[in-house]
Amino acid sequence: MSGVRRVVSLVPSLTEAVAESAPGLLVGVTDWCTHPADLGDAVRIGGTKNPDVGAIAELRPDLVIANEEENRAPDLAALRAAGVEVLVTEIRDLPQAVAELERVLVGALGLARPGWLADAEAAWARVAPARALTAFVPVWRRPWMVLGRDTFAGDLLARLGVRNAYAVHPERYPRVPAQELAASGCDLVVLPDEPYRFTAEDGPEAFPGLPAALVSGRHLTWYGPSLAQAPEVLGRALREPLPSPRA
């Protein structure tokens, strides 16, 4: 084991990864950290975009783990200025997720490589994509925003046979009007339940004539233990989309 005994996580995915691998290391987590359900005595230190830097420093962590997309650079700079060590991950696809998880858990925390990480690699290695479909993937509405280029979720979908129609867009999360999305000629709209909580009653009606796959946002966007179940969970949802809403 390394000398790290007190960890603050600013990323729900990494919180779950650490909690499943070494219960007791976490002393601080964000308000959005929901898995596992029991995080013991870990203190809530605010959101991913607005963490309480002072509260984190008071916890005297040996390490804060963060992500370049989910957390803001000024907050991470403030933590470093307060004398806190910060490890920042960058995750844009599945191989990078595996490498970064190993860097955090094995390299930084000194843990044995967790079994769930091997299970996740094996689960994705078994994936045999079905007939390729083209889809767009909203992550927000009011305004509508979709997955663009270089996203972890887009990579997972591609491995399951779903091509992101906006994968070559210059922005990673472009704003696209609903009318343009509806006229995009896609086979499917993929609607995750986070960060925006799309449901059967909130989302599909905006795209009449297009089947809608309601998917678990945790299995689509989280890089942690959920990766082991993600191919099955996402694959089932993609195979069983809701019927096309009537115009």
- pLDDT confidence of 247, banded at 50, 70, 90? low
Residue 194: inside a domain? yes
What confidence tens digit (pLDDT) does each residue in 87-129 have? 999 999 999 999 999 999 999 999 999 999 999 999 999 998 7
- pLDDT confidence of 212, banded at 50, 70, 90? very high
Residue 108 and residue 133 share a domain:
no
Q: Residue 190's domain spans which residues? A: 127-239
Residue 245: inside a domain? no
pTM above threshold 0.75? yes
Per-residue confidence (pLDDT) for residue 245, from 0 to 100 = 65
- The percentage of the chain sitting over the pLDDT mark of 70, rounded to a whole number, equals 97
Residue 141 and residue 107 share a domain:
no
Is 80 exceeded by the pLDDT of residue 227? yes
The number of folded domains in the chain is 2
Query: Under a CB-based contact definition with an 8 Å cutoff, are residues 213 and 190 in contact?
Result: yes
Kindly state the DSSP code that residue 103 receives in the 8-state scheme.
I
10 Å CB burial of residue 137 (0-12, 13-18, 19+) is buried
Per-residue confidence (pLDDT) for residue 53, from 0 to 100 = 96
Residue 133 and residue 100 share a domain:
no
User: Nearest-CA neighbor of 179 among 209, 206, 145, 210?
Assistant: 206
Residue 106 and residue 44 share a domain:
yes
Q: What is the Cα 131 distance to its own chain's centre? A: 25
Residue 223 and residue 135 share a domain:
yes
User: Nearest-CA neighbor of 190 among 232, 161, 226?
Assistant: 161
Residue 104: inside a domain? yes
Residue 163 and residue 92 share a domain:
no
Residue 105 and residue 73 share a domain:
yes
Is 90 exceeded by the pLDDT of residue 181? yes
Residue 118: inside a domain? no
